[in-house]
Amino acid sequence: MTKHHLESSHSSPTSQKDVAAKRGHQSSMNSIYYIFYILSINTN
């Protein structure tokens, strides 16, 4: 937990924005892993 995260969560009682941001970050990370997975298959 960083200071910025604590301040943002404190300023907004509903953390829907944080949940949406985490979901977006997780989906982008999954797509990156998927790209690396495809690349590793193509190189073999």
Write out the chain's pLDDT in tens, 44 residues: 456 555 555 555 557 788 887 887 788 888 999 999 999 998 76
Predicted local distance difference test score (pLDDT) of residue 34: 92
Predicted local distance difference test score (pLDDT) of residue 44: 62
The residues spanned by each domain of the chain are 15-44
What secondary structure does DSSP assign to the chain, as a single string? Answer: --HHHHHHHHH-SSTHHHHHHHHHHHHHHHHHHHHHHHHHHHH-
What does pTM read for this prediction? 0.40
Predicted local distance difference test score (pLDDT) of residue 3: 60
